[in-house]
Each structure stands twice: as C-alpha cells, then as structure tokens.
Amino acid sequence: MRLFVIIISAALIQVTTAFAHPEFQRYSKEVSGRSVNCAVCHRHSDGPEGLKPGQIGSLDQDELNALGLARQALKPGAGAQSPILNEFGNSILNQLGKEKISELKQRPELLAGSLSKTSDLDGDGIPDVEEFKDGTHPLNSLDGHPWKLFKNNLGKNWFDILMIVLATGSGLYGLQNMLLWLSLKAHREE
C-alpha cells in the first residue's frame, strides 16, 4: 500500500512538472524584482493544474486532443495551440519546441535570448522578451516598464503633444496681451 502511494505521488509530481515551468517564472521574478505569476505564459494565473478555466481539469475532449498535439511539439514551428497556454506561451512553444524549452529550464536566463527580439504581441512597443525580463505582461498593453511605456507613447503621440504645447503657449501669449491691453486702456482712462 505504501509503495502504491509512493508510485502515485511520483507519477503526479512528474505530470505536474511536465506541464509547469516555474524556472522561467522564478527567473523573471528575480531579474525584475516584480511579482510574476503563471499567467505570463499560461491561461490561468495559478498554472496548468486544476479545474479552473484554462486548467487541465476543465478541458473538453477537443482541447485535450489539442493538448496532446502540443505535448508532441518537440521541434520549433509545429503550429501547436496548447489550450493551457496563452498567446505568449504558445509563441514560445512554436518558436523553440518542447525539447529546447526543457533544455532551457536548466539555464532560464537564456530563454529571452532564444526568442524573437521584435515580437510584440500586445503592441505596446515593448518586445515580449523585454517584458519577460521586466516582469510585465506581454499580452497587456497597459502593463509595461513605466519609462519604456512613456517613451513609446511620447513617440506615438508627439504631434498631439506638440499641438497642446503650441495651443497652451499661444493661449498664454493671447492672455498676456489682453491683460496688457486692459492695463493700457485703464491707464488712458485715468
């Protein structure tokens, strides 16, 4: 009986570690100093194990079939869409394949260097790999390194900002002249 429990526990541990990759999460947390959860790559923020939406226990038969195909995506470019991964997680799977991902678990600091430098899934101007290192969410355009977001927004909206500055400047100029005119008028009437 005891042996049976040990075997079952070992099998469960293996299944759990086969789906989750906490090494990458830990690395992102360490380098960014921010709290990073499983939702960076997974559909559910608690990770792949469980019964909640996006977790293995909630999958229907079609999704289980898709999960089976994703688990066989050993090489890059398999086009797999794992139902427990989000768009970023699936993009990593398709860029690297499962073999390379397992290899990188020993050296999580090499993950960012192995991925596309230009892919920006949420279109906030910060590449996914930078967001991974910054501990921000690569699929949320409002979540990004504050200085990088500010710079990108400034770059995108420079014309509007220039117009506001000009309008404010000319408004102040007009106000100053009106005050000057009023004070001259008051002097003349004295």
Report the interface residues with Ca ion, using CB under 5 A.
Answer: 120, 122, 124, 126
Nearer to Ca ion, 27 or 88 (CB): 88
- What token pair was written down for 50? 């469980």
Nearer to Ca ion, 55 or 136 (CB): 136
- What token pair was written down for 46? 């608690």
User: Minimum distance between the CB of residue 174 and Ca ion, rounded to whole angstroms?
Assistant: 42
User: Minimum distance between the CB of residue 184 and Ca ion, rounded to whole angstroms?
Assistant: 56
Nearer to Ca ion, 108 or 127 (CB): 127
User: Minimum distance between the CB of residue 92 and Ca ion, rounded to whole angstroms?
Assistant: 14
Nearer to Ca ion, 83 or 144 (CB): 144
User: Minimum distance between the CB of residue 124 and Ca ion, rounded to whole angstroms?
Assistant: 4
Helix axes 61-71, 87-104, angle to 10 degrees: 40
- C-beta of residue 117 within 8 angstroms of C-beta of residue 127: yes
User: Minimum distance between the CB of residue 75 and Ca ion, rounded to whole angstroms?
Assistant: 26
Nearer to Ca ion, 63 or 120 (CB): 120
Q: Which residues, other chains included, contact 94 with Cβ-Cβ below 8 Å and sequence gap of 6+?
A: 73, 76, 77, 78, 79, 80
